[in-house]
Chain A
Amino acid sequence: MKVSYYPGCSLHATGREYDESVKAVSKALDIELNEIDDWSCCGASSAHMTNFKLSVALPARNIIAAEKDELDVMVPCAACFNRFKSAQYHLKNDEALRAEVEGIIGEEYKGSVAIRNPIDIIYNDIGVDKLSEVVTKKLEGLKPVSYYGCLLLRPPEVCEFDDYENPYMMDKLMGSLGAESRKWSCKTDCCGGSLTLGKTEIVVRLVDRLMTMAREAGANCIVTACPVCFANLDTRASENVVLPAFYFTELIALALGLEGSDAWFKMHNVDPRPLLSSLGLI
């Protein structure tokens, strides 16, 4: 299959291993990525927290650019995904806003492309059966908790993604790789997101709780699809509770025996390699 690709700013910087692993996994699963031409930032939390119209117009510029190709748009970053879905929701339901935004961008908004996270594309279009067929190294001994966070799921009528109180797609993907996905009750809790610079102590408290709960659930690592969550998990947890974090695509790549995973793991602040080598996975 062929999709439009919106990496977003994080995937070109602190989320580099997410970008590279999404690309490696997509290639292995025959998903062709067509990067949106001359894309710009979605505005993230800072736009919608301070200026509603800006928060719709910034993603709209990218969605309109993607509409030329009429393909589903893969948006790996949960924060970008949320802003794109939210812009589409408002543009669909508010005609006056839509006319104004079209005037600002200077082009028509058609609402013709679906915004999709790679979890959804791999789970629904590739499928767990196909995925488990191409696994060359089962992730035996790896016990991740799947951490979905806020921005893929809420509000549900905007995000239209998985079960919003008890999501399962990432757990199923982990299971198909041979990992033992652990059940826990913090799948959809918040990590504090963009408060990480302005109010670090709040993020430390939230992340420490996530790590503590993951340990109670018997996990030895935590897996996510959000570069904001990943950065907070990987850099803000206290030493006595910390567990290594992974992007879900890094683990798919590892199980598929794809090249590059060692370079990605080296970029983590909390080095996951001791855990992986103790399990004989690297």
Chain B
Amino acid sequence: MSTFLEEVNERIGGVPIQACYHCRKCTAGCPIAFAMDYNPNAIIKMIQMGMRDRVLNSSTIWLCASCETCVTRCPNNVDIARMMDVLREIAIEENVGAKEKNILKFHEAFLSNIKLGGRISEPLMIALYKIKSGDYFSDLGMGMSMFMKGKIKLLSPRTKDMKSVRNIFKSTGK
């Protein structure tokens, strides 16, 4: 058995997050902090305090856009962006149920699309996302306009050696 902090640190595999002294530079520079339920530095403290459920059920871990401003500016080199990736991985593995469901559904649709054709076909990826999220109507006009301008093609070239792509998914799947 290990503590939540130990588990997160091991998966990050770099500077232990308790190196954080809460200068809040990460939070000050975070472009998405205004929409998060907990600020990035608060997530670090909550992990130290073993607040596993609250962290994994937070909107913060899904809203983080991985802009990497936090880790670039952290005076102690805490890899906060990687920490967010790790927290998402744990939440997915444990089937916690993402607080921001549509963001996870977007990632699932994106990766399913790669598994199908090796490359993203934007109309197919968006269709997969819409089926998963139930959000059928937003951006329809925009999509149609892009289609008319020739930006979106219904058929685009795929990767030929799909066996190798599928093997990557199979070998890295948990």
Residues of A at under 8 Å CB distance from B? 9-10, 12-14, 16, 38-41, 43-54, 57-58, 61, 103-106, 150, 153-156, 164, 188-190, 192-195, 197-200, 202, 205-206, 235, 266-267, 269
**Given the complex, which residues of B lie within 8 Å of A154, measured CB to CB?**
67-69, 71-72
Contact residue among A13, A53, A103 (Cβ-Cβ distance under 8 Å from B151):
A13
User: Residue-by-residue, is B100-118 near A (CB-CB < 8 Å gives 1, otherwise 0)?
Assistant: 1011111100110010001
Contact B88 A50 (CB under 8 A): yes
Contact residue among B65, B110, B160 (Cβ-Cβ distance under 8 Å from A46):
B110
Contact residue among A105, A156, A193 (Cβ-Cβ distance under 8 Å from B65):
A193
Question: Known contacts A38-B161, A41-B118, A200-B138; is A16 also within 8 Å of B105 by CB?
Answer: no
The complex places the Cα of A218 from the Cα of B72 at a distance, in Å, of 29
Contact A49 B169 (CB under 8 A): no
Q: Does B120 contact A (CB under 8 A)?
A: yes
Residues of B at under 8 Å CB distance from A? 31-32, 34-35, 63, 65-69, 71-72, 81, 84-86, 88-89, 92, 100, 102-107, 110-111, 114, 118-122, 126, 129, 133, 138-139, 142, 145-146, 149-153, 156-157, 159-161, 164-165, 167-169, 171-174
**Given the complex, which residues of A lie within 8 Å of B67, measured CB to CB?**
150, 154, 190, 193
**Given the complex, which residues of B lie within 8 Å of A202, measured CB to CB?**
32, 35, 63
Q: List 28 A-B contacts (CB under 8 A).
A: A13-B122, A13-B152, A14-B146, A14-B151, A38-B159, A39-B119, A41-B120, A44-B120, A46-B106, A48-B85, A49-B84, A50-B88, A51-B89, A53-B172, A57-B171, A103-B171, A104-B172, A153-B72, A154-B67, A155-B72, A156-B72, A190-B69, A197-B106, A199-B100, A202-B35, A206-B31, A267-B150, A267-B151
Main secondary structure of the interface of A (DSSP, over half): helix
Closest-by-CB residue of A relative to B129 is: A197
**Given the complex, which residues of B lie within 8 Å of A57, measured CB to CB?**
168, 171-172
